[in-house]
Structure 1
Amino acid sequence: MTRHTTGPAPAVPLPSPKERRRLREARALSVEEAAKAVGVTAATVRSWETGRTSPRGRRRAAYARLIGCAEGRPLPSPPVEATTPAPETPARAALAPGTPGPDALSPGTSTPGAPVPDAPAPAGSAPAGSAPETTAPRATAPEDLGRAPQSKEGLTAEEAFDALYHCAAPGLTRQVYLLTGRRKLSQEAVEHAFRTAWQRWPEVAQDRDPAGWARAVSYEYAMSPWRRLRRVHRRADPLPEDPARGALLDALLGLPPSYRRTLLLHDGVGLGLPETAAETEASTPAAASRLVNARTAVAERLPEPTAPQGAGDRSAPPLRERLRALALAAEVPAPSPAPAVRAGSERVAGLWTRSALCFGALLISATAFTLYTAPTQYEQPLAPARPVGDVPPPAGPQKLTPQDLKLQKSLRNELTHGPERLVPRIP
C-alpha cells in the first residue's frame, strides 16, 4: 500500500538561539559532538546557536531530537537561579538609579537585584500562569550585555521606538566615542542609526536584538573613512586630563579599526566571541586573533600593563573595568529627544522621496523631448572630403604677350571672308 502526501511536512519548532545552546550544554554535548551527530560542521552548529542561520529539513529534525525539542513535546524552560549581587566597582557605582542605563557601555543590562522587564517567552515554553508566583532575579548572561530589553505588548510603534532610544542611545554614544575619539561624530552616528531604524522600523522591531542592529549601523557610520573628509571631523577631540584615561583612549585610537571594534565589543560591551565575530562579519578564529592582538597592543602602549604578559583571558576583566570607567568619565553630548529623531527621520525620508520624484520627472521630460525632436528617418552622413594626389594641374589659356595681342588685333581688322585669292599670272 502506497502513501500519498499532500504537501511538505511542517517544520519542527526550535527555541531561540541562546536556548539551543543551553539545551545542548545541558546534555553535556560539545559543538563538535553535536555537529558529528547531525552530519554538519562545527561552524554550522555555532551559526545555528548564534542566530545567523537556522537548520532546515532533515537536519532540523535531527538537531531538534538531539537537543530534546522533538515535535509534539513542550520546550523545557531554563532553570531560574538566584544570584548574589556583584561587588560595587567605581565604574558601576558612578551611575545612580535614575541614570539612563546601568552601564556606560551596555544599554539595557539589568543590575543585580533590580526587576527585569517583561519579555516574550520563547516559542514552546510553558505559559506564564504555570510559573511560581515568587521567583529570584534572573541571572544576566554575558550574551545579554549591550541589548535593550524587549518592550511589552500593546505599545505603539512610537512608544516602542522611544523606549529603545532612551535605553540604548546614551550607552551607544559612549561606545562610539571610544571608537572615534570625537564627541560630535558619536552623537551624529547614533542619531543617524536611530533615524535609519525608524525608517525601517517594521524590520527592526522584529529583530532579535534591536539595540545590536542600531549599534552595527552607528559603528559603520562612525568608522567610515569618508567622514574624515569633513572639516569638523578631521581631528580628534582632546584627550582626557586624567593621564591614565588619556593614555588608554590614545592606545585605543592607535589600534586598527577592526581591532578597536573587536576589543570594544568583547571587553567593553561584553559580547561573547561568536557574537563579536558575527557583528564584525568575521570568523570566530579571526575575531579571537584580533582580540589577542588588540589586548597585546593596548598593554604595550599603556604605562602600566593591565595584566601580566601571556595571561590570556585573565587580562579581560581589568581592561573591561577600565574601558567602562573611561566611558563613564567621558563628557559626551546628551542624545536628542526621541520625537526630534523621529521627526528628522521622516523629514529625511520625505526629502529623498521628493528628490526621487523630481529626478523621475526630469528623466521622463528629457526622454519625451528627445523623442519629439529626434529625426523620424535615418540619413546617411556625407563622407568627409579628402585630398587626391598625383593629378596634373588643370591646363588653361596663358597670358598673351604683346606680340600675340598685336596679331590678335590685326586679325580682327581683316575681312571676315578671309584674304583675297591670288590669281596666277601667265608668264
Structure 2
Amino acid sequence: MVTVRSGGPADGVTDVGPPSDGDFEEFYQAFFQPLTIQLFAYTGNMAAAQDVVQEAFCRALARWKKVSRYDDPGAWVRRVAWNLATSQWRRARTAALFMRRQREEYASAPSPDRVALAKALATLPAQQRRAVILHYLADLPVSEIAAQEGVAEGTVKSWLHRGRTALAAQLTEKEKTRA
C-alpha cells in the first residue's frame, strides 16, 4: 500500500512514501497526478508535463526492482521527471537561439527557362529523367550512373539520348509558342 502524506489541501504539498509491497501500479496511481501537477506548474504545458512524468515512470518500471528498494522511490521518479523537463527546456532554448541567429534568405523566383525545363523533365519517364539529372546536373559520368542504377553503360547512353531528344522536342515547341 502506498502512503500519501499531504501538508494540507491549501499548500498542495504531496509526499509519497515507498510502496510497502513493491507494487508498481499502486505507486504509479498514487504518484502520477501530483507529479504531473508539479511539472505542469514548472513547464506551463500539461502535455509536456504528462510526457516527462510518463517517461520518468517508464524508466522507473524498467528499474523497478532497484528503485522500489530506495527509501523514497517517489523522490527518484520526481528527480528524473524534473531532469527530463529541464532537458526539454534546454533543447527548446538552444533551438530558439539557433533560429534567432539564422537570417532569412530570399530566393529569387525561378526564370521562365528553369520553369520550362522543370516541366519538361517531369514529363520524361523516371529512368530517363534520373539519367539526365545525374549526368547534366550532378555531373556524373555514364559509368557511375550505370553502376548506381545497376544497368549497362549502353542502357544509360540510350536513356540519355531518348531524354535529350524528348527534352529538345518539348523545349523547342515552347520556344515556337512564345515567339
Shorter-chain TM-score: what band? 0.3 to 0.5
More helix by share: 2
What TM-score do you get using the length of structure 1 for normalisation? Answer: 0.19
What TM-score do you get using the length of structure 2 for normalisation? Answer: 0.43
Q: Which has the larger radius of gyration?
A: 1
